[in-house]
């Protein structure tokens, strides 16, 4: 039991370390974004004085440095701003510097995101620790309960104890992962299918999946499009491989669990003492403990030797045991045939119950159901990603609007260049943007209309409409209302993301208390109530036998 529980604690520790590392990296990134926002503010002020990008950057970098990774979207947009002004120079729009205005757009986006991130940090403070804390007190609860009543050891060290411990750890790991999943942004796409891609290197595995995909081509094509909408790319083979991995893990895990569970049940049966209470009541404590040890030793001996025996053969084999003779002498049953037969019958039933523990049809059904349910877990994750993708889609639309605003004020900017830059900065919409760029050269209007069909988000729809108007109007005039639309969408985005984060925080707070409730119910309420009822039943039986 201790080894099994230790394995569960190790698994929990590994999960905690993995998610805690992600949490620290995200908090570090938020801190770096805040410093970058200060950097942009100083750069805007310095550029207003110097009117030269090189001198302004040199002045600001004396006191501020950009610590964000170069692949971060904010840094990439800032790099594009600097590249445009270095190549084409700055210009005035409504009497205001285009470069400074673009810096202001980027600062607004960063500032709004920082406000939401800090609000999220405040709402999720301590919830991850609260969800893990109850299992840390599990040994303390068990030690205290066994000290209170020795009879409770059967509920903490037997099959019930093992089953409830597994349920408690599984619930804790699942809830801890749920809280961190709600708290953290999605991981980088390149790391999403690392294990699955490695398994697909085996030719026979790839061949089997290819056969399945070819036989269910329409279904797999729809699934691939769904994955593409959520992750920015489609990889249905890796997704199917993930389902196979979950199925295999559940199959092996359930078989291992049943094996350990049945061993715990057998051990629990052998530790039971079937000697009537009224026969032990009058014995000294030391003699009582000696009798219990002898009975357990006899039960273990008969369990290994008494396979496929009827009750008469069992009785004959029992009479040949030295431990049985010693036990009868300790209980003063040498001349008491009724008491001897009562204990022998109880011992026979105990040994028979020991041998009846084996794999039966409902165990196989349990393994099949668990494996099939695990096979569908990636589908559940996909639905959850779809619910969570609202925030990512809003952020991506805002980023694309910012990218378009960088370019529209320059006369040589073309529609194809705008689409190309949108493709460079897109993540979720990258494949759709790439397809539109590829088809734009020979069918402009149809490629933009198809892009509108594939991306139903309103900001992208407005950008596509403006790109269609560029056939008749200059680029700057076609996007004349984009600044007002962006300001409106920024407020709308802020409000919707606040509502979304409120839903996440409420769900996380509700889930964080579940492990504590499970610990109280499974490890305190149920064992104490069951032990109280069993002691009451045993007392009534002993009083009946005594009289």
Q: How far apart are CA 145 and CA 142, in angstroms?
A: 5
Query: What contacts 24+ positions apart, CB below 8 Å, involve 247-252?
Result: 247/371, 247/372, 247/374, 247/375, 249/374, 250/370, 250/371, 250/373, 250/374, 250/375, 251/367, 251/370, 251/371, 251/374
Measured from the Cβ of residue 238, the count of other Cβ atoms closer than 10 Å reads 18
The arithmetic mean of pLDDT across residues 423-445, rounded, is 82
User: In which band, very low, low, confident or very high, does the pLDDT at 372 lie, cut at 50, 70 and 90?
Assistant: very high
Closest listed residue to residue 397, CA positions, set 304, 301, 463: 463
Q: Are 114 and 34 in contact (CB under 8 A)?
A: yes
- pLDDT on residue 277: 67
Closest listed residue to residue 368, CA positions, set 263, 261, 255: 255
Residues contacting residue 192 through CB under 8 Å, at least 6 positions apart: 231
Q: Are 243 and 259 in contact (CB under 8 A)?
A: no
Question: 159 vs 249, which has greater pLDDT?
Answer: 249
Any bridge partners for residue 96, and if so which? 93
- pLDDT on residue 542: 61
Model confidence at 285: pLDDT above 80: no
Closest listed residue to residue 303, CA positions, set 359, 265, 257, 258: 265
Measured from the Cβ of residue 358, the count of other Cβ atoms closer than 10 Å reads 7
- Highest mean pLDDT: which range of 36-50, 192-206, 280-294: 36-50
Within 306-355, residue ranges assigned H as helices are 311-319, 322-331, 337-355
- pLDDT on residue 339: 66
The arithmetic mean of pLDDT across residues 387-408, rounded, is 83
Q: What is the mean pLDDT of the chain?
A: 82
- pLDDT on residue 545: 53
What are the DSSP calls for 274-301, one per residue? Answer: -S-HHHHHTS-HHHHHHHHHHHHHHHHH
- pLDDT on residue 408: 81
- pLDDT on residue 131: 93
Model confidence at 109: pLDDT above 90: no
Quick check: helix, strand or coil at residue 412?
Answer: coil
**What tens digit of pLDDT does each residue of 179-238 get?**
998 898 876 555 567 788 888 888 888 888 888 888 888 888 888 877 776 665 557 888
pLDDT above 70 coverage of the chain, percent: 91
Model confidence at 547: pLDDT above 70: no
**What tens digit of pLDDT does each residue of 71-100 get?**
888 888 888 888 878 777 777 766 677 788
Tokens at residue 305, please?
A: 């030797």
Q: Could you tell me the residue ranges of all domains in the chain?
A: 1-125, 134-185+520-547, 272-359, 390-512
**What tens digit of pLDDT does each residue of 237-273 get?**
888 888 999 999 999 988 988 888 888 788 877 777 7
Of the candidate ranges 149-163, 274-288, 338-352, 421-435, the one whose mean pLDDT is the lowest: 274-288
**What tens digit of pLDDT does each residue of 126-148 get?**
999 999 999 999 989 988 988 88
Q: How far apart are CA 391 and CA 468, in angstroms?
A: 28
Tokens at residue 164, please?
A: 């409830």
pTM for this one?
A: 0.77
- Highest mean pLDDT: which range of 20-29, 41-50, 482-491: 20-29
């Amino acid at each position: 039991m201790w080894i099994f529980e230790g394995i569960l604690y190790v698994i929990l520790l590994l999960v905690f370390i993995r998610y805690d590392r992600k949490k620290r990296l995200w908090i570090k990134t938020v801190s770096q974004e805040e410093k970058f926002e200060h950097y942009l503010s100083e750069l805007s002020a310095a550029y207003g004085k110097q009117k030269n990008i090189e001198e302004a950057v040199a002045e600001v970098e004396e006191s501020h440095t950009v610590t964000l990774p170069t692949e971060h979207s904010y840094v990439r947009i800032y790099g594009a701003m600097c590249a445009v002004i270095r190549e084409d120079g700055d210009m005035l729009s409504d009497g205001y510097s285009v470069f400074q205005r673009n810096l202001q757009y980027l600062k607004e986006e960063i500032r709004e995101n920082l406000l939401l991130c800090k609000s999220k940090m405040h709402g999720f403070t301590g919830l991850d620790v609260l969800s893990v804390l109850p299992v840390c007190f599990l040994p303390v609860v068990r030690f205290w309960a066994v000290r209170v009543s020795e009879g409770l050891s059967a509920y903490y060290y037997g099959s019930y104890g093992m089953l409830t411990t597994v349920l408690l750890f599984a619930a804790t790991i699942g809830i801890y992962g749920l809280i961190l999943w709600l708290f953290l942004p999605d991981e980088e796409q390149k790391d999403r299918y690392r294990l699955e891609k490695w398994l697909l290197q085996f030719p026979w595995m790839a061949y089997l999946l290819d056969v399945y995909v070819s036989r269910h081509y329409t279904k797999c094509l729809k699934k691939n499009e769904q994955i593409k909408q959520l992750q920015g790319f489609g990889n249905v083979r890796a997704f199917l491989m993930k389902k196979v991995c979950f199925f295999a893990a559940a199959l092996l895990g359930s078989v291992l669990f049943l094996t350990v569970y049945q061993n715990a049940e057998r051990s629990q049966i052998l530790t039971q003492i079937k000697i009537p209470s009224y026969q032990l009541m009058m014995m000294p404590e030391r003699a009582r403990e000696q009798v219990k040890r002898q009975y357990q030793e006899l039960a273990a001996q008969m369990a290994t030797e008494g396979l496929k025996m009827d009750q008469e053969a069992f009785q004959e084999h029992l009479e040949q045991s030295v431990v049985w003779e010693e036990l009868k002498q300790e209980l003063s049953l040498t001349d008491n045939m009724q008491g001897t037969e009562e204990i022998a019958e109880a011992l026979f039933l105990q040994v028979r119950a020991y041998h009846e523990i084996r794999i039966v049809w409902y165990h196989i059904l349990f393994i099949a159901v668990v494996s099939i349910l695990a096979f569908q877990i990636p589908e559940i994750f996909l639905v959850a990603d779809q619910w969570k993708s609202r925030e990512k889609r809003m952020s991506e639309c805002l980023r694309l609007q910012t990218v378009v605003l960088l370019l529209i004020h320059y006369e040589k900017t073309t529609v194809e260049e705008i689409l190309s830059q949108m493709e460079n900065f897109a993540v979720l919409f990258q494949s759709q943007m790439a397809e539109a760029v590829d088809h734009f050269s020979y069918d402009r209007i149809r490629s933009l209309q198809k892009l509108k069909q594939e991306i139903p988000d309103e900001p992208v729809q407005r950008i596509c409409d403006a790109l269609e108007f560029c056939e008749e109007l200059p680029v700057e005039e076609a996007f004349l209302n984009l600044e007002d639309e962006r300001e409106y969408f920024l407020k709308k985005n802020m409000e919707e993301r606040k509502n979304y984060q409120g839903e996440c925080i409420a769900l996380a707070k509700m889930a964080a208390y579940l492990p504590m409730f499970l610990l109280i119910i499974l490890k305190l309420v149920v064992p104490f109530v069951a032990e109280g009822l069993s002691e009451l039943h045993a007392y009534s039986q002993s009083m009946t036998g005594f009289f």
